Each structure stands twice: as C-alpha cells, then as structure tokens.
Amino acid sequence: MNMQKVEDWLSTIPSSQTRKNYLNGIRKFENEFYKKPIESLLDLSDEELGHVVERVFSWLKQSHPQNTARNQTNTLIQYLKHHGKNPRYKRSLGIFHTVISTKDHLLTTEEVQKLARFADLKEQFDGNQRGYFKLRADIESSLILETNWLAFWKECAFLDKPLENLELFSDSDLLTLNQVLVESLKDFIDAHEEKNEICLRLNDFHKKTFANLRLRFPDELSHGDGFTDYLEDRDSREHKEDYRKTGSHCIHCNSEKVTSHGKEWKCSDCGKRFRKR
C-alpha cells in the first residue's frame, strides 16, 4: 500500500481506535481479498468501485457477522470517499444495517444488575461516556431490545454529565450508542411520556449523535425526524397490537372477518395471516 496516501487519510480521523481499525481493515482487504495495493482502486470508475464494495461485503459476510462485515466494508468506502470517489453500490444489500447480537457467554446476574443501575456503571468509569460505551458495548448489545429504558434513564444521572466530543467515538461505538438512544426514545413514546424532561433531553442527545453519524455516513443514513415519525405512528401501532391480541380486525386491511388458526389470525377478505399476542 502507498502509506503516504493512507496516512494522509488517517490523519483526518480524530479517534486513534478508529485509525487503528481502518489500518487493519486495509491490510485485510489487500492481503486476503484484493491481492493488490488499495490505491489501485482509485483508477476505477464509481460504478466499478461499487461492484468491488459489493463483492467485499459479500465475501466478509461468508465468515463474519453483519456488524463486523459492515465495519470492515466501511473502511474501504471511507478511504475511497476521502480520495474523491463515490462508489455506486446497491443500497439494498444493507451494508450499514446494525444487528443487535448476543454475547457468546450467558450474562451473569451481577452484569444484569449493573446494567439496570446505570449510575453504578457511570461511577465505575468516572462519568466517561466514551469509556462506558466502549467497554460495555457487548453486554449492552444483548439487552438493548429487552431493557426497560424508561426506568433505566429515570434512575441515572448520565445526562447531567457534559457531553463528550462525539468525534472521539469509533464508528462501531457511535452506532451502538445511537441504537441505545433510539430504543430509549421508543420506550418513552410507547409509555406516552414523550413530554417528559428526560425524554426531551435524550432526544436532543440523539439529534447530536445522529448528526455526527450522518457526517460519517452521508449516503447511507435516512433523513427526517425519526422521533416525530414514531410518535405520529403510535396510534396505529397500538391498534395493531390490540388486533393481534383480540383478532377483532385484520392488521393488513382492517377487515373484521378474522378467524383463529393456532398461533395466528387469518383474514377472510385479504387472505393474509398475522401473529397472535
């Protein structure tokens, strides 16, 4: 590889961990996949580069989970963008999709209790937000969807700490933090506590986090206000949840001609089935 080109690119990245991850990603790309220096890609068109990105992602998926394949493919994409390229890969591949994974070992009771008492963890890391999400990300990931974030945030004083420079977070850590904030805001909205002061502060925190992610992934992340969209869709979700419990209406066409079939409901009008609650 042309180390001068690589070092020029890495010098623009504030996080030392991200620089290290990117350098390892480039070496893996050159040594195990491309078998040529990465700078040779700069002679290709954006369409040709898109095909390379797609092949790399598919190759990584054969031996790595989604999140690892995402991070290593992102190394290639960010290198190319730094040098003025815009690889045209298929968005339908879901390269930047984040999967909430589980840890290889079972969580201990102590770990779960610590996670439920965020203030204890905050003190453990002396209020260091980046340190918390870096060191506890694996444990958090397995519980993000199951944790009662409403109670979680009401018990902690995390938001009282000055916000650290989000530029210091690695891509992976920032994506994890963003996922935590998204699920937290959903819990507040589902509980009809969207006007709670904690919820409003979380939403401000999420806006800053998501704005930083958008700078890193300008073409991959959606635009718009997810908080508002989720809030506006709450009545529809609650009705569908009730329909799953009672079978009073079809969640697809709103028909009342619904019959029970084991663990599912079936609509006589549209013919579609949906799960019971």
User: pLDDT, tens digit, for every residue of 102-141?
Assistant: 333 343 444 444 444 433 434 444 444 445 444 444 444 5
> Is the per-residue pLDDT at 55 higher than 90?
yes
User: pLDDT, tens digit, for every residue of 228-245?
Assistant: 778 878 878 788 888 888
* 152-159: average pLDDT: 71
Q: Are 250 and 269 in contact (CB under 8 A)?
A: yes
Supply the pLDDT for residue 135.
47
Supply the pLDDT for residue 162.
64
Q: How confident is the model at residue 89 (pLDDT cuts 50, 70, 90)?
A: confident
What's the rounded Cα separation, in Å, for the pair 217 and 73?
12
Supply the pLDDT for residue 48.
93
* 143-147: average pLDDT: 61
pTM of the complete model: 0.47
Hey, where are the domains in the chain? 3-93, 109-232, 234-275
**H-only helix segments in the chain:** 3-10, 16-28, 46-61, 66-82, 109-116, 118-124, 129-135, 137-141, 149-155, 171-190, 197-216, 226-232, 234-246
Average pLDDT, the chain: 77
Supply the pLDDT for residue 274.
87
Q: How confident is the model at residue 52 (pLDDT cuts 50, 70, 90)?
A: very high
SS3 265: strand
CA angle 35/41/45 to nearest 5° reads 140
Beta pairing partners, 21 = none
- 32 compared with 171, residue with greater pLDDT: 32
What is the rounded end-to-end Cα distance, in angstroms, of the chain? 56
Supply the pLDDT for residue 232.
79
- 160 compared with 275, residue with greater pLDDT: 275
